[in-house]
């Protein structure tokens, strides 16, 4: 857990610090407004609750939406092939940098999950893949598309499965 937290802090960019600072300043502003309007109980309580909502939801939702916008990419599955003589699955795909910035690195993750005839169960199974593999693609300039190959091994699953790809870029 400590390693994940340190990796998250290490990966923060200037925009993240600005977002966190603005959220904290807005929290302080609404708490000060609540203190100034303490004689009007309902309005003061609203400002306190709104301030805490900004403090908790602002950085979280702001971080997610800002990174979707700043580091926008699209990952496409080109092919998937199960090897017969080796217990492995080869996944080929491409990633496209759709943002206005160059990516220093992209972590591309292939997830394999089971498939059933029940569409609701398929949705739940997609949340918990039974096998994952990730690779790092360095230096993807703006507007460039790069192809990649991920080998998932050992892959011994014999029934129906699907593969999904996702890219997390910086």
Do 55 and 41 have their domain in common?
A: yes
Same domain, 65 and 144: no
Per-residue model confidence (pLDDT) at position 156: 85
pLDDT tens, 64-90? 999 888 899 999 999 999 888 888 999
Q: Are residues 101 and 19 in the same domain?
A: no
Q: pLDDT value at position 160?
A: 86
pLDDT in tens, 93-106: 999 999 988 899 89
pLDDT at 32: 95
With the C-alpha atoms ordered 130, 84, 160, 74, is the resulting torsion angle positive or negative? Answer: positive
Write down which residue in 50, 70, 90 finishes a domain: 70
pTM of the entire structure? Answer: 0.78
In terms of residue numbers, what domain contains 24?
2-70
pLDDT of 137 reads 92
Same domain, 52 and 9: yes
> 79 and 147, same structural domain?
yes
Same domain membership, residue 147 and residue 83: yes
- 18 confidence band (pLDDT: 50, 70, 90): very high
Same domain, 142 and 109: yes
Where do the H-state alpha helices sit in 11-144? 14-36, 41-70, 119-127
**Cis, bond preceding 154 (omega within 30 deg of 0):** yes
Is 157 found in the same domain as 95?
yes
Q: How far is CA 152 from CA 15, 21, 51, 128, in A?
A: 35, 41, 46, 16
Whether residue 104 is found in the same domain as residue 29: no
Say yes or no: 90 and 154 in one domain: yes
Q: How far is 87 from 85, CA to CA, in rounded Å?
A: 7
Whether 119 has a pLDDT exceeding 90, the answer reads no
* pLDDT score at 140: 92
């Amino acid at each position: 857990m400590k390693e994940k937290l340190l990796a998250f802090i290490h990966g923060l960019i200037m925009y993240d610090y600005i977002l966190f600072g603005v959220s904290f300043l807005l929290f302080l502003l609404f708490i000060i407004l609540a203190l100034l309007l303490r004689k009007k109980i309902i309005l003061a309580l609203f400002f306190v609750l709104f301030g805490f909502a900004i403090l908790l939801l602002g950085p979280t939702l702001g971080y997610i939406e800002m990174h979707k916008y700043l580091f926008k990419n699209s990952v496409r599955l080109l092919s998937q092939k199960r090897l017969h003589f080796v217990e492995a699955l080869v996944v080929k795909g491409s990633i496209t940098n759709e943002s206005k910035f160059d990516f220093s690195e992209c972590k591309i993750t292939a997830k394999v999950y089971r498939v059933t005839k029940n569409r609701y169960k398929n949705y739940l199974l997609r949340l918990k893949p039974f096998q994952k593999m990730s690779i790092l693609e360095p230096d993807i300039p703006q507007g460039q598309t790069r192809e990649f190959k991920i080998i998932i091994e050992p892959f011994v699953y014999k029934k129906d499965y699907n593969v999904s790809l996702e890219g997390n870029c910086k």
